[in-house]
């Protein structure tokens, strides 16, 4: 992807996925941690893990924060519910000259594994119901966007945070109504905990057919068909998003802190 700010400064990222890649730094793909390198004056665009680790006190895969100019992420490319395990890239941008414009080759996304891929100002785990823009990468070659509602401070620099998700079309075909976040209808306890949890939900919600545990990268790392005494002892410590779904496709979400 190539980025241009309002006064003509440019920068770029190399992003992709591979079945042999991980969500951390893979030297075999030429990924290097440049987090200690000062941001360029004008425009600096990087991929990284900093925002989630700062906001949720959670280190994905137990790693230290990183920033890189190239990131290849894991991709199983399954054909059913691919959106639940979609590879997600955090994009961190330092710029004093918004709006910015991003460019990519939409032809690359005319594929069953990539035709639902998006560039967005909302983490894909937020299911689009928290505001922000969403650009479908197969539909156009560029997008203009503004400073993000998500950001962090690095010394005197404000780092705006965006995301790119590689996904099939199921990410787009599932409507917001199917992802209604109803925190009042779902409870998980004990919370925080280190071993077993129970999910409680209002009777009016209907019968639950699955409970999914998402890590901070938006990946499903545990699926349970039961509500009581779900074993989470093998999960790394950190913040998890819990989504309970009923047979009608409706869902309710909450958060869990794993000790």
pLDDT tens digit string along 241-256?
A: 888 888 776 777 788 8
Q: Which two tokens stand for residue 240?
A: 């998890």
Specify the CATH class of 180-258 in words. mainly beta
Q: Give pLDDT, residue 194.
A: 92
Q: Give pLDDT, residue 158.
A: 95
Output the pTM of the full model.
0.67
pLDDT-flagged residues of the chain (< 70): 55-63, 76-86, 123-132, 170-185, 216-218, 249
Q: Give pLDDT, residue 221.
A: 85
Q: Give pLDDT, residue 215.
A: 74
Q: Give pLDDT, residue 167.
A: 81
Peptide bond into 165 cis (omega under 30): no
- 141-155 per-position pLDDT tens digit: 999 999 987 888 999
Cα 58–chain centre separation: 14
CB 253 within 8 A of CB 243: yes
Cα-based distances in Å from 3 to 58, 98, 155, 160, 220: 29, 11, 23, 13, 31
Q: Report the chain's C-alpha Rg in angstroms.
A: 19
Place of tokens 């002892």: 233
Q: Give pLDDT, residue 207.
A: 83
Q: In sequence order, what DSSP letters do the residues of 124-178 get, joined into one string?
A: GGGTTTT---EEETTT-SEEEE---S-EEEETTEEEEEEEEE---THHHHS-GGG
Q: Give pLDDT, residue 3.
A: 98
Domain positions in the chain are: 2-173, 180-258
Q: Could you say which DSSP state residue 53 is in?
A: H
């Amino acid at each position: 992807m190539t980025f241009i700010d309002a006064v003509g400064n440019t920068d770029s990222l190399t992003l992709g996925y591979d079945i042999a890649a991980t969500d951390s730094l893979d030297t075999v793909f030429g990924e290097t941690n440049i987090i200690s390198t000062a941001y360029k004056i004008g425009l600096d665009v990087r991929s990284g893990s900093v925002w989630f680790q700062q906001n949720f006190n959670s280190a994905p895969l137990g790693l230290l924060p990183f920033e890189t100019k190239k990131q290849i992420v894991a991709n199983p490319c399954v054909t059913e519910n691919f959106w639940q395990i979609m590879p997600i890239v955090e994009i961190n941008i330092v710029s004093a000259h918004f709006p910015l414009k991003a460019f990519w080759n939409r032809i690359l996304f005319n594929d069953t594994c990539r035709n639902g891929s998006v560039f967005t100002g909302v983490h894909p785990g937020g299911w689009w119901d928290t505001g922000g823009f969403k650009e479908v990468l197969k539909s156009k070659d560029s997008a203009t966007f503004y400073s993000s509602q998500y950001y962090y401070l690095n010394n005197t620099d404000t780092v705006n945070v965006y995301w790119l998700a590689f996904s099939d079309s199921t990410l787009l075909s599932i409507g917001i109504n199917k992802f209604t976040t109803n925190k009042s209808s779902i409870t998980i306890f004990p919370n925080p905990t280190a071993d077993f949890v129970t999910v409680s939900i209002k009777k009016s919600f209907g019968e639950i057919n699955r409970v999914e545990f998402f890590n901070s990268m938006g990946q499903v790392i545990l699926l349970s068909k039961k509500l009581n005494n779900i074993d989470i002892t093998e999960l790394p410590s950190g913040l998890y998003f819990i989504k309970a779904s009923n047979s009608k496709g409706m869902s309710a979400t909450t958060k869990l802190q794993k000790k």
